[in-house]
Amino acid sequence: MDRKNKRLLLLIVSCSVSGVVLGGTSSWAESTMCMQATQVTSECLTQNPVNKTIQGMSTGLLAGAGAAFGAAWQLRREE
C-alpha cells in the first residue's frame, strides 16, 4: 500500500469514527431530553433509546465517510 492510499484510508477511518461518536452521542442525548420533557409524546415512549442511538451512529458513519470522500475528491481536483 503506497503512502497516498494509507493517508486516504486514515482520513476515511478517522472521519467515520468521529461521525459514529457524534451521531451516537447526539441521538442518545435527544432520547434523554425527550424522556425528560414536560410533555412526553407517544413517539418518545414507543422508541427504544438503544435503537435510536444505533440509528444515529449509522447515520454518523455514513456522513463521516461521505465527508472524507468529499474532502479527498476536492484535494485530488486541486492537484
Tens digit of pLDDT for each residue in 12-71? 899 999 999 999 999 999 888 888 888 888 888 788 888 999 999 999 999 999 999 898
> Could you list the residue range(s) of the whole structural domain that residue 20 is in?
15-78
Whether 9 is in a domain gets the answer no
> Is residue 45 in a domain?
yes
- Give the 3-state secondary structure of residue 43: helix
How many structural domains is the chain composed of?
1
Asked whether residue 6 is domain-assigned, the answer is no
**Where is 24: in which H helix or E strand?**
helix 3-35
Whether 69 maps to a domain, the answer reads yes
Binned at pLDDT 50, 70 and 90, residue 73 comes out as: confident
The C-alpha atoms of residue 71 and residue 79 are separated, in whole angstroms, by: 13
Whether 8 is covered by a domain: the verdict is no
Examine residue 26 and state whether it is found in any structural domain, yes or no. Answer: yes
Residue 56 inside a domain? The answer is yes
Cα(3)–Cα(27) distance, rounded to whole angstroms?
A: 36
Distance (Å, whole) CA 18 – CA 60: 8
